[in-house]
Amino acid sequence: MSLSDLAAKPVQTLAPYVPGKPLDELEREYGITNSIKLASNENPFGMGAQARAAIERTIAAVGLYPDGSGFELKAALSRKHGVAQECITLGNGSNDVLVMLAEAFLTPELEAVYSQYCFAVYPIVVQAAGALAREAKARPAHDAQPFGHDLDALHAQITPKTRLVFIANPNNPTGTWVEAQQLEQFVANVPQHALVVIDEAYIEYVTEPGSADASTWLSRYNNLVVTRTFSKAYGLAGLRIGYALSHPQVADMLNRVRQPFNVNSLALAAATAALEDIEHLRRSVAANTAGLSQVRTGVAALGLTCLPSRGNFVLVDTGRSGAAVYEGMLRQGVIVRPVAGYGLPQHLRITIGTEQENARMLSALERALQLR
Ligand SMILES: *Cc1c(COP(=O)(O)O)cnc(C)c1O
């Protein structure tokens, strides 16, 4: 008998999350310097000046436990979203909120629904809870939203045992999205015994007018949960902070499984300040919009195609083994993200960087394609 046999059955067969390769690791392994990472959808500008100042002001107090209620940040989020503080649950990244949702609402007798090619964390939290996952087929490869969420297919997977339905909008790793009217109709049609979790990790990057913002629907649907993060457009991925907006009764249940001090004091201070730093957000989003078109044009010039994306990344069809292209780019000091683990062995997910990083990525991609 091995020690792994002692673990809970669902954990024994759990496939761990595979993160983007860290820069230090690449440089250690390949003996190179000046590499760039476009693998985890981080903001290439990092944190804004106001977040940095808040961290510097707070750092002397890290000997103390953080405010476990996150009062200041919740007050700021309450103003931003026009919801009561009782509707807000803070997480150590929005990943933490996803874990809390599974812990609070799933058991081995119950079920969750998500789509093929969904964010990799959904299957992990569902399986760790021992619940049954029902995976809806995604839209086909040749579609206006290739590999995107098929709302009818998702609805068809809901049973009386369903407690959670996960939808990322825009979705990672595809970059695809669902329109406001269709998504709201979907939410309206989910039965009351299931919570619909709309994960809006990338919503700040969505600039198209009239696009979905599920946070504005909360007063209409008691079973709606919206998750947001400071890891992407706000540039605070390393601090780990995100949150959920929900009915107060849902937030109450999440709070019962939440670790008392799940969000650290630097993250609380930085996130509160980041909400005020409109200029950093504006600059980040504008650079992303320009970068998306730079990358899309560059990829097309190499004879490859990108899926449509409203996030800060594109999914590129390399038309060959994505792993080989990934390796070829690594050797040139450019880290992108292979997505074979998502069932997309020919694709690479590439984060939009600064203009210079995008240019370097494109030339590394071009060379990697020639290597074969
Ligand atoms: C990056 C990402 C998150 C954010 O995770 P954090 O834990 O907040 O860093 C959540 N959902 C999706 C779909 C993501 O891509």
Over residues 44-51, the mean pLDDT reads 98
Assign 19 a pLDDT band (cuts: 50, 70, 90). confident
What pLDDT, on the 0 to 100 scale, is given for residue 218?
98
β pairing state of 195-199 and 162-168:
parallel
C-alpha 334/C-alpha 369 separation (Å) is 14
**What pLDDT, on the 0 to 100 scale, is given for residue 143?**
96
- 234 neighbors 51 (Cβ within 8 angstroms): yes
Placement of tokens 């807000």 in the chain = 88
Q: What is the mean pLDDT of the chain?
A: 97
Q: Three-state SS for 12?
A: helix
Q: Give the residue-averaged pLDDT of 161-184.
A: 98
Give the three-class secondary structure for 79. Answer: helix
Amino acid at 122: Y
Nearest residue by C-alpha to atom 11 in ligand 1: 201
pLDDT of 80 reads 98
Q: Residue count of the chain, please give it.
A: 372
Residue in the block written with tokens 């761990």: 16
* pLDDT value for 17: 87
> Over 70: is that where the pLDDT of 281 sits?
yes
Long-range own/partner contacts, residues 250-255 (CB < 8 A, 24 or more apart): 250/195, 250/223, 250/225, 251/86, 251/87, 251/88, 251/89, 252/86, 253/104, 253/105, 254/89, 254/97, 254/100, 254/101, 254/104, 255/89
User: Residues enclosing ligand 1, CB less than 6 A?
Assistant: 41, 93-95, 119, 168, 172, 199, 201, 229, 231-232, 237, 242
Distance 313 CA to ligand 1 centre (A): 13
Q: Whose CA is nearest to atom 12 of ligand 1?
A: 201
Cα separation, 203 vs 168, in Å, equals 10
Model pLDDT, residue 52: 98
Q: What's the average model confidence in pLDDT over 159-174?
A: 98
What's the 371 CA to ligand 1 centre distance in angstroms? Answer: 33
Quick one: what percent of the chain has pLDDT higher than 70? 100
Per-residue DSSP letter, 66: P
pLDDT surpassing 80 at residue 372: no
What single DSSP character describes residue 198?
Answer: E
Instruction: Please check the confidence at residue 269 and state whether its pLDDT lies above 70.
Output: yes
Choice from 114, 229, 349 to test ligand 1 binding pocket (greatest atom count within 8 A of CB): 229
